[in-house]
A and B are shown apart, each in its own frame.
Chain A
Amino acid sequence: MSITTSQYVGNVRDTVKSFWHGMSVTLSQVLRRPITIQYPDRLEIPVQDVLPPRYRGFLEVDTDICTGCQACERACPISCIQIEVEKDPANPKQRVVTQFDIDEAKCMFCGLCVEPCPTGSIQHTREFEATQRSVRNLVFRWADPIKPFPVYKVVKGAPYIPRAPLGSRVKDLLAQRSWDAVGTSYLPPEPLKPPPPPPVKPPPAAKPAAPAAAKPAAAPAPAPAPAVQPDEPKP
C-alpha cells in the first residue's frame, strides 16, 4: 500500500497532535480528585448511610405490623419467602405466624414482595453486608415457631401504621450472628428404620430373636469397618 508524501507527513502530524491532547488529558487527571473511596474501613460516613433510601438491600419484616396475608410470598418469583400461618391453640380466633423465613442467599432483591404488602411490614433496607461462612445462615427467620407472633389487624381510620425504624431489626438480626457461625445443617435424613415387623403376630418362641435381628439394622455405621479388614494383610 503506497501512500503519498502529504499522507506521510499528515500521519506524523496527526500522531503528534493526538498524542499532545491525549497526554495532556491524562496529566490533568493528576490534578483532580480520585473518584474511588476506600471501602470499608476508611470512610467518613458508613456506606449504608450514603445509599439512597430506595436501595434494595436485605429484606426486613416488622413482625408487629405483619398481617399474615402472604401476599409477599405469592409475589416472589423465586419463592424465597416461606410463611406458615396457624391458628393460635390458646385463642382459636387469633391467627399466628409460626414461620416467616426469607432466604437472603436466594433472594434476587427485585422488590416485588414489597409492593403488595398492605402495611409496609416487609421492606428493603440499606443493609447489605452479611458475609457468612455458611450460606444457610443467610436464611433470616422472622418468626419463632416456639413463640409465634400474632398477625396484625389494621385499625380502621388509624392515621398511620406504626413501623419500627427501617433497618433496625435487620441490624439486630445481623448482630446476633457472627460471620463464622456454624450454619444450620440440612435437615438430617431420616434414619434407616428397621423394616416394620410383619403384621402377623409372631409366635412367642420367636420373641427373643426379634431384638437381635433389629440390632445390626439399627447400627449400620460400624458394619463396613470389619469389611475392610480382610484386605489389609494382602500387601
Chain B
Amino acid sequence: MSKLVLRRLDRNNEEMLINFGPQHPSTHGVLNFLVETDGEVMRRAIPDIGYLHRSLEKIGEMVQYPGYMPYTDRIDYLAAMFANEGYAIAVERLLKIEVPKRAQYLRAISCELNRITSHLVSIGTMATDIGAVTPLVYALRERELLNDLLEALCGARLTYNYHRIGGVAFDMPEGWRDKVLAYLDRLDSSIQEWDRLISTNEIYRKRLGGVAVISRAQAIDYGLSGPNLRGSGVDWDLRRDVPYGAYPDFSFEVPVGCGWAGVVGDCYDRYYVRVLEMAQSSRIIRQALEKMPDGELTAKVSRKPKPEAGEVQSRIESARGELAYYLVSDGTERPYRLRARTGSFMAMGIIEDISPGLMVADLVALIASLDVVAPETDR
C-alpha cells in the first residue's frame, strides 16, 4: 500500500507523505497513519494497524474455556469488564447455563462502572489531543477514584478478570455500596463541572463542531457501533434493543447525537454522547444497587467445561461499540475457533474515507473522537 502512495506522490511532487505514528503523542497506543498532506490539508490518511497484535484469538484455541478469561482483559485494557462479560455470555450460551440474578446485577454494575472509566479516558485524551492538558488530569483523577472502587471489588485496577463463566467471582465487599453511591454523587457534579470547563468551551466546540462528519448512512455502512454510531444520529443501543443480562430491569435513556455544535455526526457529537452516557451509566448503577437481589454468585459450572459441539455468538454493548464473540466448539475442553469483533477495528476503517480535506489537526480530533484503542484494533 505504501509503495503505491509513494509512486503517486512522486509524480506531482506537491504533496508530502508523513508517518503519523507509530510513536506519536496522539495515536492512543501504537498506531500508524500514512498521511498525505498538501500543506495543512490532508489528501488522505491511511491507517496502518497491527503493531499491537498479540494473537489473542489464536490463544483462545489453546487454553481451556475458563482459562481464557484473563486474556479477554487484554483485548481492550481500558474496558476489560466488557470483554469479560461478552466472553462469559458466549460460553454460557454454549453450555446452556442460566446466570443467577444477583450475578447479572453485579455484572451490570461492574460493566457500567467500567464504561465510566473508559469514557473518562476517552474524553480526557480527546481534550488533550485538542490541546487542553488539564481536563485529562481531572478525568484521570475521577477515574482513579473509581479504579479504587473496582480494585476493592475485584482486586485489580485494569485487568479485572471479574466475570466467570456462569456468574461473577466475588460479591460486593462490605461498605462498597455506600462508597459507590458517594462516588456517583461526586461524578454527577464533576460531569457538570466538566461541561463548564471544556464541553461548552468555545474553542473546543469550534474545533470539534462540523469536523469529520460521518453521516447516518456512512456510519451504518461501515459497521460503526456504540457511541460512534449514536453520535451519527442512529438510535441503537444493544442494552435496550437487544437486551442481555440485567438490563431489561433498568430504565435509562440512550443519548443520540443531534448536532450540539454544528452538524449531526461531527466529532463533537461523538464526544458529547460519551459525556451523556456517563450520566446514564451512573443512573443504571444507582438502580442496580437499589434493586440488588439476593442469591448465588455463580451457576453450577464444572471446572473443565466440555460444551457440546456447536457455534454461538454473543453481542454486548461495550464502551467502544459492539463487542461480539463467536465461538465454535468441537466438543473438547478448548474452543475450536474464537473470534472477537471489536468496535475500534470497525472505526479504523472509516478514517481513510473521512480524512480527505481535513486538516492535520482535525485528524487528531477524528482519531480521538472515534475512541480508537490500539490493542482492541489489533487484538
Which secondary structure dominates where chain A touches chain B?
Answer: loop
Please tell me the size bucket of the interface on A: 20 to 34
Cβ contacts under 8 Å, B193 to chain A: 25
CB–CB A11/B202 < 8 A? yes
* Cα A18 to Cα B172 with chains together (Å): 41
CB–CB B200/A55 < 8 A? no
- A51 at interface, CB cutoff 8 A: yes
Q: Which A residues between 18 and 57 are near B, CB-CB below 8 angstroms?
A: 18-19, 21-22, 25-26, 29, 35, 51-56
CB–CB A109/B156 < 8 A? yes
Q: How far is the CB of B201 from chain A (nearest CB, A)?
A: 5
CB < 8 Å neighbour of A54 from B134, B170, B196, B198: B170
Given contacts A18-B201, A77-B63, A108-B70, contact A52 B196 (CB under 8 A): no
- A111 at interface, CB cutoff 8 A: yes
Cβ contacts under 8 Å, B154 to chain A: 54
- B292 at interface, CB cutoff 8 A: no
Cβ contacts under 8 Å, B303 to chain A: 75, 116
Given contacts A14-B202, A110-B159, contact A52 B151 (CB under 8 A): yes
CB < 8 Å neighbour of B197 from A11, A25, A52, A109: A25
* Cα A116 to Cα B303 with chains together (Å): 8
Cβ contacts under 8 Å, B159 to chain A: 108-110
* Cα A77 to Cα B333 with chains together (Å): 13
- A112 at interface, CB cutoff 8 A: yes
Chain A residue nearest in CB terms to B164 = A115
Cβ contacts under 8 Å, A26 to chain B: 134, 197
CB–CB A55/B155 < 8 A? yes
- B169 at interface, CB cutoff 8 A: yes
Cβ contacts under 8 Å, B155 to chain A: 52, 54-56, 111, 124
Q: Which A residues contact B (CB, under 8 angstroms)? A: 11, 14-15, 18-19, 21-22, 25-26, 29, 35, 51-56, 75-77, 108-112, 115-116, 124
23 cross-chain CB contacts under 8 A: A14-B202, A15-B203, A19-B202, A21-B196, A21-B197, A25-B193, A25-B197, A52-B148, A52-B151, A52-B173, A53-B173, A54-B154, A54-B155, A55-B155, A55-B156, A56-B155, A75-B303, A76-B67, A77-B71, A108-B70, A109-B156, A112-B161, A124-B155
